[in-house]
């Protein structure tokens, strides 16, 4: 394997950018444990073609409502939804690769929009008091580097949960309640409450979308390049350790 040509996914760059816990490791320029753990996954994926199959109900909803979320964004921002549909082009340079959700080009330049669909009202409103997650920050810096954009937005949307997921949650509720049937009054009451908590048509559109604006930072882009170089060195180290482990 030629690890010097390995491209790090934009969505994973944030793992590399985490800082080591100890001052000594920071001063030595070592990668953090988080970065090292992620690079083990990169090693397995690149060398053996295997990836962890991780699926949660939150991820399932995000995938199923992605197109709807982009349409919701376009309607809110008065973007042409026929022009700014889901981007499918994969961008890459000598260090990273990624596929931004929406690339909006106008007279002012290029804007990147990355849509995140919240699972419920609690996870959505939880973003109001928080700063943008570091993983998202570095993902947006990566997208701006790849596309030449000067500005990026992480957009949290709150959309109705797909029918299939609601039904799955109802089945789980039925099992947990251990009632006679779906017609049991206590189950019917809780099932209606569950469905109400997973649909949001009663909430105004402007209260179901949050924009986090991120400006391009050339200094941080240089830091990404440096970390990718460090990551490639570490991938070489993993391979050497693995190859010689039993000698």
In this predicted structure, what is the pLDDT of residue 180?
A: 73
For residue 214, is pLDDT > 80?
yes
In this predicted structure, what is the pLDDT of residue 189?
A: 92
Q: What are all long-range contacts of 242-246, with beta carbons under 8 Å and residues at least 24 apart?
A: 242/43
Q: What is the pTM of this model?
A: 0.90
Confidence band for 74, pLDDT divided at 50, 70 and 90: confident
CA distances from 144 to 7, 90, 207, 232 (A): 16, 13, 27, 22
Confidence band for 183, pLDDT divided at 50, 70 and 90: confident
Burial status of residue 238 (CB atoms within 10 A of its CB: 0-12, 13-18, 19 or more): middle
- Give percent above pLDDT 90 in the chain: 77
How confident is the model over 112-158, as pLDDT tens digits? 999 999 999 999 999 999 889 999 999 999 999 999 999 999 999 99
Confidence band for 81, pLDDT divided at 50, 70 and 90: low
Domains in the chain, ordered, with CATH? 3-160+200-243 (3.90.320.10), 163-196 (no CATH)
In this predicted structure, what is the pLDDT of residue 123?
A: 95
Confidence band for 195, pLDDT divided at 50, 70 and 90: very high
């Amino acid at each position: 394997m030629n690890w010097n040509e390995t491209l790090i996914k934009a969505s994973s760059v944030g793992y590399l950018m985490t800082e080591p816990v100890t001052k000594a490791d920071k001063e030595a320029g070592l990668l953090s444990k988080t970065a090292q753990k992620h690079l083990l996954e990169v090693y397995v994926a690149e060398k053996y073609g295997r990836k962890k199959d991780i699926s949660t109900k939150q991820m399932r909803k995000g995938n199923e409502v992605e197109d709807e979320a982009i349409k919701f964004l376009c309607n809110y921002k008065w973007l042409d939804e026929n022009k700014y549909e889901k981007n499918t082009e994969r961008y890459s340079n000598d260090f990273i690769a990624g596929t931004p959700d929406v690339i909006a080009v106008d007279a002012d330049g290029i804007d990147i929009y990355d849509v995140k669909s919240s699972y419920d009202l609690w996870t959505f409103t939880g973003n109001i008091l928080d700063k943008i997650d570091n993983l998202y920050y570095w993902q947006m810096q990566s997208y701006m580097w790849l596309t030449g954009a000067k500005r990026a937005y992480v957009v949290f949307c709150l959309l109705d949960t797909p029918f299939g997921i609601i039904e799955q949650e109802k089945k789980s509720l039925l099992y947990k309640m251990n009632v006679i049937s779906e017609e049991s009054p206590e189950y019917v009451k809780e099932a209606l409450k569950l469905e109400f908590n997973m649909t949001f048509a009663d909430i105004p559109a402007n209260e179901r979308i949050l924009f986090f604006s991120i400006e391009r930072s050339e200094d941080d882009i240089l830091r990404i390049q440096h970390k990718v170089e460090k990551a490639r060195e570490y991938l070489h180290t993993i391979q050497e350790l693995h190859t010689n482990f039993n000698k």
